[in-house]
Amino acid sequence: MLAIAVLLLGLSTPSSPQENDAVIAAHMEYMKLSFACDGASSTYRASKAAALRAIKQYDPSNYTARDITGLDRGLRDGAMKLATPIDTSDCENLLIEAKSDLDDLVDKAH
């Protein structure tokens, strides 16, 4: 039973530090987009929670949970935002596309 758990754990972790970091960076960009679209909505809170779970799951080399909480603080304080302004009337489509891209990256990293 333990061997199966270890095998499954190994299958659910990306194989390289670059992949780990790319997954976390994508989660952080999705956090920025969801906050830009709808503030501290349930979508944003879910994206933050997913990013924190990803930190634990992927153990990236360049990111920690402090980076996620720091981004959260920065977004709420207005100190951080998306690098490129968006048309908020298109947020639904942007969020769907970004979530799909994030999911694809996570799937590829496995």
Q: Which residue has the higher pLDDT, 10 or 19?
A: 19
Tell me which of 2-6, 18-22, 87-91 is least confident.
2-6
Asked if residue 18 has pLDDT above 70, the reply is: yes
Count the domains in the chain: 1
Lowest mean pLDDT among 4-8, 25-29, 99-103: 4-8
How many angstroms separate the CA atoms of 91 and 41, rounded? 13
Q: Does 48 or 18 have the greater pLDDT score?
A: 48
CA atoms within 13 A on the CB side of 31: 26
- pLDDT for 54 beyond 90: yes
Determine the distance from the C-alpha atom of residue 104 to the mean position of all C-alpha atoms in its chain, rounded to a whole number.
Answer: 12
Domain range spanning residue 46? 2-109
pLDDT over 90 percentage in the chain = 70
